[in-house]
Structure formats: structure tokens, C-alpha cells
Chains A and B, each alone.
Chain A
Amino acid sequence: MNNVNKYSKIARNIAKNIVVRPSENIEEKIINKISNIDESDRKLLDEKFLDYLRKNNSRLYLLNEKIKNNSGKVAALGSIVALLVIFLVAVCYLSSSENSSDNK
């Protein structure tokens, strides 16, 4: 079963790099298509597509997506920063109270 798990995982990783080449030359077909664009093709740029384009051109949107997609990492980083701040505040507080007791 362990082997199956391993094979399955590795195979799915390798599958990312698989390319399916059609028998006919897809490149030439695409190049031909873009050389002969008509009015109906322009309709492909509908509201949904323009919205996608707008979002992908927004730094704020992309940053927001990155945070949402890595919410676990962001939460972990936030916790570490918060703990660090608490630690520094505690150290400062302790050192200042030591100083004041020394002065007395």
C-alpha cells in the first residue's frame, strides 16, 4: 500500500510535465486563426473575460489572492511576528524594571 501511495504521488507529479501532441499541427492552425480574425472572434472578449483581465492587472487583487491561497502560512507568520513582539516587549519591560530597581 505504501508503494501504491508513493507511485500514485510521483506519477501525478510527473504527469504535470506530460505533453499531448495532436496528430495535426496545432501551431499552424492557431497561427492561421489569428491571421484571419473576424468580428465573431472579437465577441470572445466578453464581460467575463474583461473582468479576468482587469483582476489580473491589479496588484491589490493578486496580493489578496496570494494571501487567501496561503492563509495557513500567513497565519503562521503572523503568529511568529506576534510572539516576537510579545517577547521583545517583555524583554524591554524586564530590563527597564531591573534598571529602576538598581537606581533605587
Chain B
Amino acid sequence: MGRLKEKKSSSAVDDRVLVSKSKKGNKVAFEELVRRYSNYVYTTSFFILRNTHDAEDASQEVFVKVYLSIGGFRGLSSFKTWIRKLTVNTCIDKLRLRSKASNQKVSLDELTENCEVVFTNFNRNLEKVFLDKEMVKKVLNIIVSLDESYRIPLILRDLQDYSYREIAELTKKPIGTVKTNIHRARKTIKEKLKYYE
């Protein structure tokens, strides 16, 4: 636990140092930030946009925005929080521009054909309660196959820790609708998981 805390704080300090160096125009420091967060940005984009090319475009766009504006970043929130919000905003904007036709049914296997799904911080104890990586993949599979109106609020709430109010603002929907959609999405996951039990 102590080691985890230490690791976490050292990573946070490193981020601040890298951001500070990047602000002064140090390209090597910025490249390190890219290496550290590119997979995170890509994964977030991937689950929202459900398309490898769009996720790649969104990731590049996010880092270009970060690169061009890092001088104006005061660091009142962590770099990770800043880039997370920026990624979500960019993806939601891209989603709005898309046609309704692109909201088709897809599966995680189909989507991850050219990708690798990697588990980080996987807790061994969880395997004791018969929960394995396959189960997580099944849940993810159900999430990516959900309709956009259910998928986006659920991803923002459960995977990105957004508040209901923030989701309502982002998706431009009443808070009650957001809560209902998240509840229905969770219910769908549970119902579909019953088949695997």
C-alpha cells in the first residue's frame, strides 16, 4: 500500500516536472508525456468512438491541443485530469459530428481485431471470487455494443468517474434522463451476464 502510494506520488511529481519542462519548450519532456498518456487517451477515445481510426485521430488531436496550449496550463488540476477531460470533450464533439448511421451494433472482438486489450493493476484477489479477465471482457463487450445514449453516460460514469451533473452538461440531456440511461445500461449488462453464469 505504502509502495503504491509512493509510486503514485512519484509519478504525479514526475508529471509536474515534465509539464513544467514542456512549458519551457522542452520537446523531450513533452514526448515523455505522450509516451505516458497516449495509450490512456487512445483507450478512452476508442471506447467512446468505437472506431480505431477515429480513436487515432482523436488521440492526435488531443495531443496537438495539449502541445499548443500547455503554456497556458496552470496546473490547478493534475495533468491526467486535464487530459482526460480534454479527451472526453474532443470525442463527444466528434460523436456529434457523426451521422446516426454510424451508431451501429459492434462487438469488442470486431473492434479489437487490430488491437491488444491489456489489463493494468489487475488484482489477483478478484480471481478468487471466480471473476476472471474473460468476465471483464464480456462486460466490456456488452458496453461497446450498447446504444450510444446508454453507452456514453455509462462510460463517463463508471469508467471515467464523471458526476451525473457533468454527464448531463456534456451530453446536453436532463440529469434525470442521464440517471435513467445509466440505470438501464447497468440493467442490460446484468441481464446479459446472466447467460454467462
Q: Which A residues are within 8 Å of any B CB, using their own CB?
A: 1, 3-8, 10-24, 26-27, 29-31, 33-34, 37, 41-42, 44-45, 48-49, 52-53, 56-59, 62, 65, 68-70
Contacts and interface: CB of A to CB of B under 8 A. Distances in A.
A22 B114 contact: yes
Interface of B: 30-31, 34-35, 38-40, 42-43, 46-47, 52, 55-56, 59-61, 63-65, 67-69, 72-74, 76-77, 82, 85-86, 89, 93, 112, 114-123, 126, 129, 131, 135-136, 138-140, 143, 158-159, 161, 163, 165-166, 186, 189-190, 193-194, 197
B64 A41 contact: yes
B115 A7 contact: no
A16 B42 CA distance: 13
Contacts of B121: 17
A21 B34 contact: no
B159 A16 contact: yes
B60 A20 contact: no
| Majority SS at the chain B contact face | helix
A57 B85 CA distance: 14
A10 B131 contact: yes
A11 B115 contact: no
7 contacts: A8-B186, A11-B131, A14-B122, A27-B35, A41-B68, A44-B65, A68-B163
Contact of A57 (B74, B190, B194): B74
What 5 A-B pairs have minimum CB-CB distances, sorted nearest first?
A11-B139, A69-B163, A23-B114, A17-B121, A21-B116
Contact of B136 (A18, A41, A58, A68): A18
B69 A18 contact: no
B190 A44 contact: no
Contact of B119 (A17, A34, A70): A17
A53 B165 contact: no
A70 B164 CA distance: 10
